[in-house]
């Protein structure tokens, strides 16, 4: 106290407590201001996030429903090829069923317009149906078949009926035919299972995310299987065993730099090394996974090293003190304690890899692939690339598909991050 | 009992050379004689951190089965010396030693010395209680398991014996499966002692074992040292001079890396030979 009053010298400050009291108000004001800034920035980021999510959901939710049309398909003798039902002309059967429902449509051009209300997938639906339980001749199959994407857009309100004919993709005649279906209760929106069960397609109503989900799954599996063990082994060696010298410093600097390298560079590397030099198959989850592994490794190594550093030295000393070897210290004490942090780092790295597009474009995963991949060496798309492809497509119906695919991708990311949180909580130990 | 023997020894030490072994001390300092056998002997032993010599050319014998306290102001090298004995300093990259430090006729810093084996024989308890975040049983059984004991029955016996020796058995016998971190600080420290005893070391190094504990827990640890006296060679680093005078038979006083004085505790505290020692123990500096 004496000290501070002498320090204030000529001012009639007096006791320290007075100085403290005088400054108190402005200190509290400062703190209040600081808190306000914090709240404002949180509100701002929350608002952006909410805006982003709402716009995606608003755009995309309608993709989970799809317009179906009820079609009565009379099966007459000779329509189905008895010896080889697969070879039957299902397209023709569908067309005749349509003509039967609209008996007054006779002109060739009108017929074509009429057929275009139905998806080209309708024939496949009929085919599957017939192959599953072969109908007898003379019966009538009642099928809910897919409507064309233009009809779908109309039903979902993305296409207006009251605008001039030239400004919409369906003409007045087609609208009248649809109205007839509506009046008969033969057209309705149902849950879009196609979206979740099929691969990509040029026809929006036939396009699905499942192929991309499977592709992402295989790719992530490769990435995880490679990057987790390699990353952890590298981190443990560098942190616990490596001598501290110039070489290890150099490696450390490089790992930190690699984490900041643009991901497309990894794609170029993958193209040059894995595809061109090693001749691995193009567009496959195997190569995609390896490229993403290269990209993920620095993240995992850095996070794992931080987790290892956070293990208190007292635990190591205790284990060494009772005669553990270095490896025993690491395997039975340090590693279990660092594991939650390592897992968190790995899952964050995997989530990053799951959302990565650029390096995969370089190794050909941007190809249009209809088949759902069945393994690591089948050509495949991944979710972010699928989103990119759909976003690039001109059809109006792909807009909602794009948003829906983003929702699926976000769902996976949220699930992965939730897993990271759960794992951290589960394995976390305090000392 | 032991104390009185040492006292007698101290009284006679100046007079006659009847004892069979002399203790190495810094040059020109006093020499004491004792009937004990040296367990750890340092000869011109120095420890460096980079260029800094933390322990300077120490020459001394630590006697078997006695309690030796190491005192001195902060940064005097007492902990460094203690940690050199089981090579805990190896964890510090820039640290190295010169001179010789022998343990049971084996050079601790020798080329062929296995530090894992060494640490099994020279147990250590640290300043801050550091139990493993595991059940109490596993804490004690960790060492024996490491050294190859697999039989459950034997392990149980070892755990009970060690906990009894550490005067903790009665407090924890019903909750051996609970996490050791649930114990109080004093209990944790005794658990650490028990964990060290479980591997049956020859020497017990205690690095300020009570500095993080309250007086009651401190008293328990001191009682424990009393219990263990005579069965183990114990070295204890302490900041607390009362504690040193209470528990030890011999005391080493370090100052700025030099071993200034090494004598029977009673003698060092009542009749120090060196002015620096006297200044320190009378509290003129710390």
CATH number reported for the structural domain that contains residue B71 in this entry: 3.40.50.300
Asked whether residue A297 carries a pLDDT value surpassing 70, the answer given is yes
Distance from the Cα of A330 to chain B's closest Cα (Å) equals 13
Max Cα distance, chain A (Å): 116
Residue that has been written with the tokens 């006297």 in this structure = B278
Distance from the Cα of B130 to chain A's closest Cα (Å) equals 6
Q: What's the mean pLDDT in A61-66?
A: 91
Indicate the class that CATH gives domain A210-427.
mainly alpha
CA nearest to B204 within chain A: A321
Q: What's the mean pLDDT in B215-237?
A: 88
Distance from the Cα of A323 to chain B's closest Cα (Å) equals 5
Q: Hey, which bits of B84-170 come out as E strands?
A: 95-103, 106-107, 122-125
Question: Mind listing the pLDDT tens digit for each residue in B45-78?
Answer: 999 998 899 999 888 888 888 899 999 998 888 8
Band (B286; pLDDT cuts 50, 70, 90):
low
Write down the pLDDT at residue A429: 61
Write down the pLDDT at residue B4: 46
Of A321, A324, A325, the CB nearest to B123: A321
Task: Classify the C-alpha dihedral A264-A270-A275-A276 as positive or negative.
Answer: positive
Residue A86, C-beta contacts closer than 8 angstroms, at least 6 positions apart: A127, A131
Buried b / exposed e over A97-131, threshold 16 CB at 10 Å, is: bbeebeeebeeeeeeebbbebbbbbbbbbbbebbe
CA nearest to A318 within chain B: B130
Of B126, B142, B199, the CB nearest to A317: B126
Distance from the Cα of B83 to chain A's closest Cα (Å) equals 10
- Asked if A431's CB is within 8 angstroms of B181's CB, the reply is yes
A23: how many CB neighbours lie within 10 A of its CB?
10
Of A314, A319, A323, the CB nearest to B120: A323
Write down the pLDDT at residue B148: 86
Q: What is the ipTM of this complex?
A: 0.79
Q: What percent of chain A is predicted at pLDDT more than 70? A: 96
Which residues of chain B have a CB within 8 Å of the CB of A249?
none
Task: Classify the C-alpha dihedral A379-A382-A387-A391 as positive or negative.
Answer: negative
- Asked if B91's CB is within 8 angstroms of A430's CB, the reply is no
Residue that has been written with the tokens 């320190």 in this structure = B280
CA nearest to A328 within chain B: B146
Band (A56; pLDDT cuts 50, 70, 90):
very high
Of A243, A313, A429, the CB nearest to B133: A429
Which residues of chain A have a CB within 8 Å of the CB of B124?
317, 321
Residue B64, C-beta contacts closer than 8 angstroms, at least 6 positions apart: B36, B37, B38, B39, B233
Write down the pLDDT at residue A12: 55
Comparing A23-37, A39-53, A91-105, which segment has the lowest mean pLDDT? A91-105
- Asked if B119's CB is within 8 angstroms of A318's CB, the reply is no
Task: Classify the C-alpha dihedral B172-B174-B180-B183 as positive or negative.
Answer: negative
Band (A13; pLDDT cuts 50, 70, 90):
low
- DSSP for A106-159 reads -SHHHHHHHHTTB-THHHHHHHHHHHHSPPPTT-EEEEEEEBPHHHHHHHTTSS
Write down the pLDDT at residue B30: 36
- Asked if B116's CB is within 8 angstroms of A323's CB, the reply is yes
**Tokens standing for A311?**
């293990």
Distance from the Cα of A1 to chain B's closest Cα (Å) equals 26
- Asked if A324's CB is within 8 angstroms of B91's CB, the reply is no
Question: Mind listing the pLDDT tens digit for each residue in A228-246?
Answer: 999 999 999 999 898 888 9
Distance from the Cα of A319 to chain B's closest Cα (Å) equals 8
Inter-chain Cβ pairs, chain A and chain B, closer than 8 A: 65
Band (B13; pLDDT cuts 50, 70, 90):
very low
Band (B273; pLDDT cuts 50, 70, 90):
confident
Count of domains forming chain B = 1
- Asked if B119's CB is within 8 angstroms of A328's CB, the reply is no
Write down the pLDDT at residue B1: 42
CA nearest to A333 within chain B: B132
Max Cα distance, chain B (Å): 57
Q: Determine, yes or no, domain membership for B45.
A: yes
Write down the pLDDT at residue B26: 38
Distance from the Cα of A259 to chain B's closest Cα (Å) equals 28
Q: What's the mean pLDDT in A260-282?
A: 92
Q: What percent of chain A is predicted at pLDDT more than 90? A: 56
Question: Mind listing the pLDDT tens digit for each residue in B248-258?
Answer: 988 999 998 88
Which residues of chain B have a CB within 8 Å of the CB of A246?
none
Specify the higher pLDDT residue, A429 or B208. B208
> What is the overall mean pLDDT for chain A?
89
Tell me how far apart the alpha carbons of residues A378 and B83 are, in angstroms, rounded to a whole number.
60
What one-character DSSP code corresponds to residue A85? G
Residue A22, C-beta contacts closer than 8 angstroms, at least 6 positions apart: none
**Chain B contact residues (CB < 8 Å to A):** 86, 88, 91, 93, 116-117, 119-120, 123-126, 128, 130-133, 142-143, 146-147, 181, 192, 195-196, 198-199
Tell me how far apart the alpha carbons of residues B45 and B35 are, in angstroms, rounded to a whole number.
24
Write down the pLDDT at residue B71: 92
Task: Classify the C-alpha dihedral A127-A131-A132-A138 as positive or negative.
Answer: positive
Write down the pLDDT at residue A426: 81
Which residues of chain B have a CB within 8 Å of the CB of A316?
91
Specify the higher pLDDT residue, A5 or A90. A90
Band (B10; pLDDT cuts 50, 70, 90):
very low
Band (A253; pLDDT cuts 50, 70, 90):
very high
- Asked if A313's CB is within 8 angstroms of B199's CB, the reply is no
Write down the pLDDT at residue B36: 62
Q: Determine, yes or no, domain membership for B52.
A: yes
Question: Mind listing the pLDDT tens digit for each residue in A328-368?
Answer: 999 989 998 898 889 889 998 999 999 999 999 999 888 88
Q: What's the mean pLDDT in B191-211?
A: 90
How long is chain B?
Answer: 286
- Asked if A431's CB is within 8 angstroms of B199's CB, the reply is no
Interface test with A, best of B85, B88, B117, B119 (most A CBs within 10 A): B119
Which residues of chain A have a CB within 8 Å of the CB of B131?
318
Write down the pLDDT at residue B215: 87
Which residues of chain B have a CB within 8 Å of the CB of A320?
88, 91, 119
Q: What percent of chain B is predicted at pLDDT more than 90? A: 22
Asked whether residue B89 carries a pLDDT value surpassing 90, the answer given is no
Q: Determine, yes or no, domain membership for B286.
A: no
Of B116, B130, B199, the CB nearest to A318: B130
Distance from the Cα of A353 to chain B's closest Cα (Å) equals 34
Comparing A169-173, A308-312, B102-106, which segment has the lowest mean pLDDT? B102-106
Tell me how far apart the alpha carbons of residues A149 and A374 are, in angstroms, rounded to a whole number.
28
Specify the higher pLDDT residue, B26 or A158. A158
Band (B281; pLDDT cuts 50, 70, 90):
confident
Distance from the Cα of B135 to chain A's closest Cα (Å) equals 13
- Asked if B93's CB is within 8 angstroms of A323's CB, the reply is no
Of B91, B126, B146, the CB nearest to A323: B146
Distance from the Cα of A336 to chain B's closest Cα (Å) equals 10
Band (B32; pLDDT cuts 50, 70, 90):
very low
Q: What's the mean pLDDT in B121-128?
A: 90
Contact, B261 vs B30, CB < 8 A? yes
- Asked if B143's CB is within 8 angstroms of A322's CB, the reply is yes
Backbone angles phi, psi at B184, to 5 degrees: -75, 170
Band (B191; pLDDT cuts 50, 70, 90):
very high
- Asked if A316's CB is within 8 angstroms of B133's CB, the reply is no
CA nearest to A336 within chain B: B133
Write down the pLDDT at residue A22: 86
**Chain A contact residues (CB < 8 Å to B):** 243-244, 312-325, 328, 332-333, 337, 429-431
- Asked if B146's CB is within 8 angstroms of A324's CB, the reply is yes
Question: Mind listing the pLDDT tens digit for each residue in A114-157?
Answer: 999 999 889 988 888 888 888 888 888 888 999 999 999 999 98
Write down the pLDDT at residue A215: 93
pTM of the predicted structure, to 2 decimals: 0.80
Interface test with A, best of B82, B85, B116 (most A CBs within 10 A): B116
Residue B86, C-beta contacts closer than 8 angstroms, at least 6 positions apart: A321, B115, B118, B119, B122, B123, B124, B203, B205
Full domain range(s) for residue B81 = 2-281
Which residues of chain A have a CB within 8 Å of the CB of B195?
318, 322
Asked whether residue B24 carries a pLDDT value surpassing 60, the answer given is no
**Tokens standing for A37?**
């800034």
- Asked if A325's CB is within 8 angstroms of B133's CB, the reply is no
Write down the pLDDT at residue B25: 43
Q: What percent of chain B is predicted at pLDDT more than 70? A: 87
């Amino acid at each position: 106290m004496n000290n501070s009053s002498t320090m204030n010298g000529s001012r009639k400050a007096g006791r320290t407590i007075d100085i403290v009291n005088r400054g108190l108000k402005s200190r509290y004001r400062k703190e209040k201001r600081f808190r306000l800034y914090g709240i404002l920035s949180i509100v701002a980021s929350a608002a952006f996030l909410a805006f982003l999510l709402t716009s995606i959901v608003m755009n995309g939710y309608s993709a989970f429903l799809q317009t179906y049309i009820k079609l009565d398909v009379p099966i007459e003798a000779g329509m189905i090829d008895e010896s080889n039902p697969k070879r039957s002309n299902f397209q023709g059967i569908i067309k005749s069923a349509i003509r039967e429902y609209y008996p007054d449509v006779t002109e060739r051009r009108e017929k074509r317009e009429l057929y275009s209300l139905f998806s080209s997938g309708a024939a496949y639906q009929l085919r599957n149906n017939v192959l599953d339980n072969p109908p007898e001749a003379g019966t009538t199959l009642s099928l809910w078949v897919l409507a064309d994407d233009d009809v779908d857009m109309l039903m979902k309100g993305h296409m207006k009926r009251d605008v001039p004919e030239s400004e919409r993709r369906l003409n007045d005649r087609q609208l009248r035919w649809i109205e007839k279906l509506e009046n008969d209760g033969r057209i309705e929106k149902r849950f879009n299972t196609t979206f979740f069960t099929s691969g990509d397609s040029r026809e929006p109503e036939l396009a699905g995310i499942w192929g991309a989900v499977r592709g992402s799954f295989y790719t992530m599996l490769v990435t995880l299987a490679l990057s987790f063990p390699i990353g952890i082994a590298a981190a443990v060696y560098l942190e616990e065993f490596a001598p501290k010298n110039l070489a290890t410093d150099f490696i450390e600097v490089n790992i930190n730099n690699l984490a900041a390298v643009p991901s497309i560079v990894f794609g170029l590397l993958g193209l040059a090394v894995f595809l061109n030099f090693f001749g691995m198959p193009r567009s496959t989850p195997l190569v995609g996974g390896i490229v993403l592994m290269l990209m993920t490794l620095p993240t995992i190594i850095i996070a794992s090293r931080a987790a290892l550093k956070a293990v208190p030295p007292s635990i190591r000393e205790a284990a060494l003190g009772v005669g553990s070897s270095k490896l025993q210290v690491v395997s039975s004490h340090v590693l279990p304690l660092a594991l939650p942090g390592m897992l968190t780092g790995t899952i964050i790295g995997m989530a990053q890899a799951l959302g990565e597009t650029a390096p995969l474009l370089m190794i050909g995963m941007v190809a249009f692939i209809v088949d759902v991949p069945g393994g690591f060496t089948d050509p495949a798309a991944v979710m972010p690339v699928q989103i990119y492809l759909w976003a690039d497509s001109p059809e109006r119906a792909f807009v909602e598909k794009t948003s829906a695919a983003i929702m699926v991708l976000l769902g996976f990311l949220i699930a992965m991050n939730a897993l990271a949180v759960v794992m951290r909580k589960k394995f976390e130990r305090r000392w | 009992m032991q104390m009185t023997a040492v006292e007698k020894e101290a009284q006679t030490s100046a007079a006659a050379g009847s004892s069979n072994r002399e203790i190495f001390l810094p040059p020109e300092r006093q020499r004491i004689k004792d009937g004990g056998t040296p367990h750890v002997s340092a000869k011109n032993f120095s420890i460096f951190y980079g260029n800094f010599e933390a322990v300077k050319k120490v020459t001394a014998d630590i006697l078997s089965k006695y309690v030796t306290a190491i005192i001195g102001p902060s940064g005097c090298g007492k902990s460094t010396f203690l940690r050199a004995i089981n090579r805990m300093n190896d964890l510090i990259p820039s640290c190295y030693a010169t001179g010789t430090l022998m343990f049971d006729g084996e050079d601790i810093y020798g080329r062929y010395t296995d530090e894992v084996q060494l640490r099994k024989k020279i147990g250590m308890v640290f300043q801050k209680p550091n139990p493993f975040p595991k059940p109490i049983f596993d804490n004690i059984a960790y060492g024996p398991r490491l050294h190859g004991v697999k039989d459950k029955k034997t392990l149980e016996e070892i755990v009970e014996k060690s906990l009894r020796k550490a005067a903790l058995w009665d407090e924890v016998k019903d909750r051996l499966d609970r996490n050791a971190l649930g114990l109080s600080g004093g209990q944790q420290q005794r658990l650490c002692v028990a964990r060290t005893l479980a591997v049956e070391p020859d020497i017990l190094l205690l690095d300020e074992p009570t500095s993080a504990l309250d007086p009651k827990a401190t008293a328990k640890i001191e009682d424990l040292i009393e219990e263990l006296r005579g069965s183990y060679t114990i070295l204890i680093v302490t900041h607390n001079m009362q504690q040193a005078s209470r528990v030890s038979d011999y005391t080493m006083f370090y100052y700025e890396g030099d071993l200034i004085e090494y004598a029977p505790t009673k003698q060092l505290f009542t009749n120090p030979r060196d002015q620096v020692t006297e200044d320190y123990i009378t509290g003129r500096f710390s």
